[in-house]
Amino acid sequence: MRIKWTLEAEDEPVPATPEQGNRLRVVIDHNPGMYLGADVAVGWVSFEGDQPRPEIHLSYTNAVAGLARISPRTMMHLLSQMHSDELVATALGRALAHELGHYLLELKEHTGGDELMHASWTADELFGPIRPRFNLTTAQRQTISSKLLPAVQLTKR
């Protein structure tokens, strides 16, 4: 799997779809996404019918808002900018793993328990120093493997 990072100017429109059908684009910006009441989504995937669009969206703004919500206002001033950035990056990375699950599993809904695909995440799960052990079911692992295996075989040629 090849990852290519590109930066686009804030005023530059983001194309509606990736250039090639086999590409997945991850957009990180300040878009807060849909209004969810008291909750905020750090990431999301849009679906067309039952198929996920090849784009994962991560909201930097919502990750920062989530961190501010769990940290008292006085504590936010004490957090160094570098440490705050590390916590936000941790949350964005964990949200990306979850959204990749939606994309690869073509899964609109969430599961329960401590699986990667559960809906509501605690502050510790998003920002905590100890990486949560999110599980995939055997069926989910097999589905993801079957989708990634052809790509791996192509890169070995």
50 by Cβ neighbours in 10 Å (0-12 / 13-18 / 19+) ranks as exposed
Average pLDDT, the chain: 81
More confident position, 134 or 125:
125
Per-residue pLDDT at 12: 64
pTM reported for the whole predicted model? 0.77
Per-residue pLDDT at 19: 54
More confident position, 71 or 30:
30
Single-letter code of the amino acid located at 83 = H
Cβ neighbours of 91 (radius 10 Å): 25
CB 127 within 8 A of CB 70: yes
Chain centre distance of CA 110: 14
Q: Which of 10-19, 20-29, 75-84, 94-103 has the highest mean pLDDT?
A: 94-103
Per-residue pLDDT at 10: 66
3-39 pLDDT tens trace: 566 777 766 665 555 555 568 889 999 988 887 766 7
